[in-house]
Amino acid sequence: MKRACFIFLLCELLFLCTILAGCAFRDIDKRFFVVAMGIDKSNDEKRPYDVTLKLAIPSPEIRPGKANFQIISEKADSIPEAVRVMKSKVDKEFDFGHCRMVVFDEKTIRKNQGFTINWFLRRRDIQGITYLGIGKPSARDVLKARVQSERLPGNALILSFDPTTNTSPYIMTSMLNDFYMRVREDGIDPYLPIIEPIKGSYNISKVALFAKGTLKADLTRDETRILNELMSTDRRGQINVASGGNQLFVNVDDLKSGIQVMLPKGEKPYIDVHLDIKGFIEGSGEKLATDQELKRYEKIAGATISKRVKRVLKTIQKMEADPLGLGLRYQAKMGATEQQTKDWERIYPNMDIRVHTDLKIKGTGTMY
Amino acid sequence: MARYYFFIILMNMTLNIILNVPMVLVENRFNGSIMSILLSIPIGSLLAYLFTKGMSRFPKMDLPTILENNLPKYVYKPFLVFLSLMWIASGSFALISFSYLIKTYIMPEASLELISGLFVFVYIYGAVRQTASLLYKAEITMVIAFPVVLFIIFKAMRSDLFNYVHIVRMIHFTWELPNYSSVAAATYLFIGYINLAIFNRYIDSKKALRWFWTVPILGTGILLSSFFVPIGFFGINAIGDIILPWLMSADSLRMQFGFIERTVFLLIFFYVLMTFLFGMVTWHIGLELLKGAVQSMKKKTWGRSFLLIVGILTIIFQLQVNHREFSSIVKYWFNFRFPVEVLLVIMVYLFSLRRQNV
Amino acid sequence: MEELQKEINCVKEKYDNNPDFKVHRFEYFEKKIALIYMKSLCNEAQIKKDIIEPLLLCEKQGKYLLHLLSMPSCQHINASDDVEKLLLQGNALIALSGEIYSVDVRKPTNDQPLDATVEQTVQGAQKGLSEDLTMNMTLVRNRYPSKQLKIEQQTVGTLSKTRIAILYDVDYVQEDVLDEVKKKISGLKADIIQAAGQLHNYMTKEKYRIFPTMMITERPDRLALNLSQGKVVILMNGTPFGLVAPAVFFDFLSSMDDKTLPYWVTRLLILLRYVGLLITIILPSLYIAITSYNPEIVRSQLALTIAGSRAGVPYPSFFEVLFMMFAVELLVESSLRLPKTIGPTATTVGGLILGQAAQQAQLVSSIMIIITAFVAISNFTIPINAMSFAVRCARYPLIVFASFFGIVGVVAGLILLLCHLSDLRSFGKPYLKMYWGTTDKMSKVRESRKE
């Protein structure tokens, strides 16, 4: 009797499983994975947000270039509204859990960044490690681009921004949580990489800087690289040091940057940048046989690098942008109240910049 | 058996980020949180030391027996009931805050009642086990979970997005007067020792005292990291916008080589383990204390139905309040809990002195 | 004497119809001699050799009696002895000039050590226990030739009267465990007990039990090792398995090979088993949780692959899992009972054809096939069969939890399992508990005996 009861209960439980599982139970094939989002500014005054979603169409076999996706877009007065309207355009529920890329166009992100990204921060399923970028000419064009090597839809961009798979020093990575911190804190400014679709791939080599809450200007490719190196990320590359008639390429093994805000008493405050570079020579027009020659080139190249870095920092300073967080360093020295923030805004545009480079050439590769 | 003492203390320390301790500290970050943290380390350690020292004079005895021997009947029985409710409340608060967390991060589509119902079920199942079994379970859970938590803290500090500059900026706010609620919240980290009230039956507290010096060290490390690491990620202003700073910080991390890519899930899973453990321990002790006061609770069905009622009340309470109200209630509770804790510790210590004289 | 005679007559009447009841009468020394025995239980060759042949050689009655009494198993029966019981235990009774003697001439059954088939080792001993209690005691004694080894014999089962032996080392044994074992055996209420597992079932309080709290083993070397660790061993007549108490969770994941292989190899193998245990318990439920509740947990690549392979599957994930788990359980169960010659066919049909076809017919996803195989294989890494069965059972509640609560349900289920395990006691010893270093201490040779 008891055993029959037990078996009956078990059957009941299984039956309940099938019914009750309706509430939060949704199989993976009943979800539409949003792999990237694009936010453009539309011409419509009433519905300024033009939201584009890139939806992955999963297939059992994965081959390069066979990444299937679907693009849908909608104009609305806000991002959540647009997403809600778009749900009626597809057959399955959206899942933002794998949305690792959000692209804005320049006009949307120009002002009020905190408000624009608020929806992304508030939603729990959008990861804090989502990459952000600016799409040129528009975010939709970036999402639409089909990359030849792509195995999974939207993966190419993510791989390019991931410093473990792509170490190019021209690509600057901006993540959602970090971006938010930069927007909210005084003394550090956000930046966003610029993504341009080209045929069969993307070109990501420039960065747009913000200052005082607005989008200021883009840096050129070389300026971007130097800024990236100063941010002391893991991205490494070659440095071309033309000295005299000789083109010298140094492959950077290790780059350490020390940036300090110096406030000597009675003197003008200045920014002290110290670069420690270790590397090997990858290309040289001349034969480098002796130690003296290496030492000489170290010195020349070091001076060239210092000059370049200084030029880039001056450009950034002129924009009044502060992606390196110099203001934070000032606050760390002086205190973090409003008074210090005002002081910093006053002194930053006129600060001197002193750069010192320590270049160590460790070897010349397989040839002299 | 002395090692279980440290596992229980460790459990309370690591779990603080769920129990809204950083919430209080972050709120008062410009008004003396750092000073309060610095103050709470000696206060918490001292309380822990006195209580452990006191309990070590009563080998193999639990709090109900000690109170019974030292206080008149009409004092100790209501006091035990009161203490039992305090314990159960701390477990219930953990339950409520964690089910909010689960709802936001893991199961946005499930209803809160369902999640809390699961928690209540697991809590009760664990709480009615034998006391020694809970200790074994605590050890196993902590041995599994604590290294992962350490790993996440380590990974956070090594992250590119972690800026030490923010912490240096924060330290400028050290010289503020400490405030009571921050101290009350920060001392909550050290509260694990109080579970000796029942576990003293099995834990050799005299032996535990020999290793007591690890408690302030661990406490300092965990308290500072739980306060400063999120600030390193979000800065001193943005941190105020976030309800659960630690989870957002963990979400800034990515495990390139892990099975799970988002670190925040790893954190949540291991905190689920510890929250369940915490709830079981607190409810178990609450029940055992009640058994000391009310004889009929010793019956299996009575004890179980008592916990079931408590669980249902917890769920009802959760449905009644929204998250903001809940947070402020927890804050009041922290403030209220601290004097009770001090009172209990002093009481036990005085009893132990008397025992020595006899 | 008359009483005895009466009793024999009584027995004779009772068993007269039975063809195997023999009363053999003849005359010698000018006296009547009667030989009474159960033919089916006794070795007639031995009767001839030990009882009848000496009779012919002896010329005097006194000499013959001397011979009879000199046999180790011979006994002069007093009135109080239960004649019927002696007969049923395989003794031959000799009635000679009013006196009755009994001689043990039991026919041994299956007293050859069997090959260890359930719990094999690569390079350890290859023979297990036999089905005969005496032989088993011999085997254990041979491996544990200590004067401290104590053997206590008794019978269990009101009808089966199965002979069992309790073995322990007097110096090392944990007294509380021994007392509890004895108490439980004396309190047994069962008619027929024929197998070690059955005895185990009767000896545990909990009726609804999943995990074994006594070790069932067929290896005499494990028995000897456990004796030295202070455990109590119960051997039973008619089964090639012995019971060991107490046994904790970790014992069930240890193989006798762990003692013969080098240190790091052993550690690796042990780690492998624990990983296998974890996989076999949580993988099916994890699949449900990930595909139906939280696909954002895994990497995008994996999520899209699962979504792609599940695209054509019409049923929700827990049906898929239950279906495949059911198929595997059927496969295991059927190959257990099948004769060895048909076994491989079942595996081929079930495993290869069914799995392949189910995937091609889009009844299950290809990821699920991998998971099924993975789960089944890792289940087989658990060295003790009783535990392996228990683990098979334990994963179904987890599947239910996962289909209700997703990944939180899986964690909650694991916690409940942990609670259950750490709350179990094996004869007073905690079942699941961290033993820091004590196992090493146990296996170390103790030069000096316990004080």
Question: Closest to A332 (Cβ–Cβ): which among B108, B168, B249?
Answer: B168
Calculate mean pLDDT across residues B135-147. 92
Mean pLDDT score, C133-154? 87
Which whole number is the average pLDDT over A25-49? 86
Given a cut of 60, is residue B214 above it in pLDDT? yes
Beta bridge partners of C75: C102
Question: Is there a contact between A95 and C296 if contact means CB atoms under 8 Å apart?
Answer: yes
Cβ of C393 under 8 Å from any chain A Cβ? no
Cβ–Cβ of B252/A233 closer than 8 Å?
no
Tell me: do A165 and A66 sit in the same domain.
Answer: yes
Return the partners of chain B (3 or more C-beta pairs < 8 Å).
Answer: A, C
Beta carbons of B346 and B50 less than 8 angstroms apart: yes
Domain final residue, candidates A219, A250, A265: A219
Amino acid type, C348: T
Is B122 in contact with C408 (Cβ distance < 8 A)?
A: no
What whole-number distance in Å separates Cα of residue C375 and Cα of residue C349? 19
Mean pLDDT of C417-422: 91
Q: Which of C405, C416, C418 sits opposite B140 (nearest CB)?
A: C418
**Nearest CB to C405; choose among B118, B133, B141:** B118
Confidence of residue B358 (pLDDT cuts 50, 70, 90): low
Q: Does C412 touch chain B (CB under 8 A)?
A: yes
List of chain C residues whose C-beta atoms are within 8 Å of the C-beta of residue B280: 419
ipTM field:
0.91
Q: What is the pLDDT of residues B102-121, one digit of tens each?
A: 988 888 888 888 889 999 99
Task: Clarify whether residues A264 and A365 are in a common domain.
Answer: yes
Nearest to B54 by CA among B267, B248, B197: B197
Q: What's the CATH code of the domain at A276?
A: 3.30.300.210
Domain boundary among A185, A219, A253: A219
Average pLDDT of span B216-239: 90
Number of structural domains, chain B?
Answer: 1
Of A55-64, C55-64, C415-424, give the range with the top mean pLDDT. C415-424
Q: Does C423 touch chain B (CB under 8 A)?
A: yes
Question: Do the domain assignments include residue A225?
Answer: no
The residue of A23, A94, A124, A125 whose CB has the most chain B CBs within 10 angstroms, and thus the best one to mutate to test that interface, is A124
- Per-residue confidence (pLDDT) for residue C314, from 0 to 100: 84
Residue C450: predicted pLDDT: 45
User: Cβ contacts (< 8 Å) between C292 and chain B: which residues?
Assistant: none
CB pairs under 8 A between A and C: 87
- State residue C441's pLDDT score: 45
Cβ–Cβ below 8 Å for C310 and A28: yes
Interface test with C, best of A27, A95, A123 (most C CBs within 10 A): A27
- Banded model confidence at residue C123, pLDDT cuts 50, 70, 90: confident
Element (DSSP H or E) covering residue B62 = none
CB pairs under 8 A between B and C: 76
Contact C306 A17 (CB under 8 A): no
Tokens read off for B47? 């309380």
> CB B280 to CB C419 under 8 A?
yes
pLDDT digits over C266-324, tens only? 999 999 999 999 999 999 999 999 998 888 888 888 888 888 888 888 888 888 888 88
Interface with B, mutate which of C274, C301, C420, C423 (most B CBs under 10 A)? C423
pLDDT digits (tens, 9 = 90+) for A162-176: 888 888 888 888 999
Is the domain of A213 the same as that of A244?
A: no
Assign residue B330 the CATH number of its domain.
Answer: 1.20.1740.10
Residues of A whose CB is below 8 A from C366: 60
Indicate if A206 and A268 belong to the same structural domain: no
Residue pair C227/C140 in contact by the 8 Å Cβ criterion:
yes
* Banded model confidence at residue B277, pLDDT cuts 50, 70, 90: very high
Closest approach of C325 to chain A, Cα-based (Å): 14
The shortest CB-CB distance from C292 to any of A26, A56, A58 is to A26
Q: Of A186, A219, A252, which one is at a domain's C-terminal end? A: A219
Which pLDDT value is given to residue C446?
Answer: 52
Q: How confident is the model at residue C79 (pLDDT cuts 50, 70, 90)?
A: low
Name the residue among B163, B156, B165 with its Cα closest to residue B253. Answer: B156
The per-type count for chain B, helices as H runs and strands as E runs, is 16, 0
Beta strands in A151-269 (DSSP E): 191-198, 201-211, 214-219, 238-243, 246-262
User: Is the pLDDT at C114 greater than 60, yes or no?
Assistant: yes
pLDDT tens by residue, A283-312? 777 777 788 888 888 888 888 888 888 999
CA distances from B13 to B28, B39, B101, B280 (A): 20, 16, 19, 16
Domain-embedded: residue A41: yes
Query: Does a structural domain hold residue A341?
Result: yes
Predicted pLDDT at B356: 67
Select the more confidently predicted residue: B278 or C357: B278
**Residues A279, A214 share a domain:** no
Q: Do A28 and C295 touch (CB under 8 A)?
A: yes
Query: A361 and A286: one domain?
Result: yes
CA–CA separation, B192 vs B9, rounded Å? 4
CA distance C372 to chain B (A): 19
Greater confidence (C5 vs B222) lies with B222
Please say if the pLDDT value at position C1 is more than 60. no
CB-CB: which of B114, B261, B277 is closest to C299?
Answer: B261
Closest alpha carbon to C136 in C76, C59, C224, C207: C224
Q: Is the pLDDT of residue B185 over 60?
A: yes
Determine contact: C310 vs chain A, CB below 8 A.
yes
Per this entry, what is the length of chain A?
368
Average pLDDT over residues C52-57: 82
Which token pair is A176? 């959602």
If asked whether residues A239 and A316 sit together in one domain, one would say: yes
Q: Is the pLDDT of residue A179 over 80?
A: yes
Q: How many domains does chain A have?
A: 2
Residue A2 resides in a domain:
no
Return the residue matching tokens 């697991």: B122
CA distance B216 to chain A (A): 28
Share of chain B above pLDDT 70, in %: 99
Question: Does residue C339 have a cis bond before it (omega within 30 degrees)?
Answer: no
Tens-digit pLDDT profile for residues A93-104: 888 888 889 999
Q: Which residues of C are less than 8 Å from A27 in CB distance?
A: 291-292, 310, 316-317
Residues A87 and A161 reside in one and the same domain: yes
Are A182 and A249 in a shared domain?
no
For B172, the closest of A129, A175, A335 (CB atoms) is: A335
Q: Specify if A317 maps to a domain.
A: yes
Q: Which range (B221-225, B320-324, C63-67, C391-395) has the least confidence?
A: C63-67
Instruction: Kindly write down the DSSP assignment for every residue of C249-313, as one continuous string.
Output: GGGGG--THHHHS-HHHHHHHHHHHHHHHHHHHHHHHHHHHHHHT-TTSS-HHHHHHHHHHHTT-
For residues C189-195, give the mean pLDDT: 86
DSSP C87: H
Smallest Cα distance from B104 to chain C, Å: 12
Is residue A18 a part of any domain in this protein? no
pLDDT band at C3 (very low <50, low <70, confident <90, very high): low
The parent domain of residue B280 ranges over 3-357
Within this chain, do residues A239 and A207 fall inside the same structural domain, yes or no?
Answer: no
- Mean residue pLDDT across chain C: 83
Arithmetic mean of pLDDT over chain A: 83
Within 288-307 of C, beta carbons closer than 8 Å to A belong to: 290-296, 300-301, 303-307
* pLDDT the model gives residue A231: 82
Q: Please report residues of C whose CB lies closer than 8 A to that of B114.
A: 405
Lowest mean pLDDT, pick from A237-241, B189-193, C334-338:
A237-241
Interface test with A, best of C208, C288, C296 (most A CBs within 10 A): C296
Residue B120 is predicted with a pLDDT of: 92
State what percent of residues in chain B have pLDDT above 90.
42
Residue of B nearest to C300 (CA): B261
Go through B167-187 and write b for each residue having 16 or more CB atoms within 10 A of its CB, e for each that does not.
bbbbebbeeeebbebbbbbbb
| A244: pLDDT strictly greater than 70 | no
Q: How far is B93 from chain C (nearest CA, A)?
A: 18
The reply to whether A240 and A322 lie within a common domain is: yes
Q: Same domain, yes or no, for A47 and A126?
A: yes
- Residue from C411, C414, C429, C431 whose CB has the most chain B CBs within 10 Å, to mutate: C411
Write the pLDDT tens digit of every residue in C318-339. Answer: 888 888 888 888 888 887 777 8
The helix/strand/coil state of C76 is strand
Domain that holds residue A344: 234-368
CA angle A269, A275, A280 (to 5 degrees): 165
Question: Hunting for tokens 């499983």 — which residue is that?
Answer: A17
Judged by a CB distance cut-off of 8 A, whether residue A233 touches chain B is yes
Strand-pairing partners, residue A203, are A196
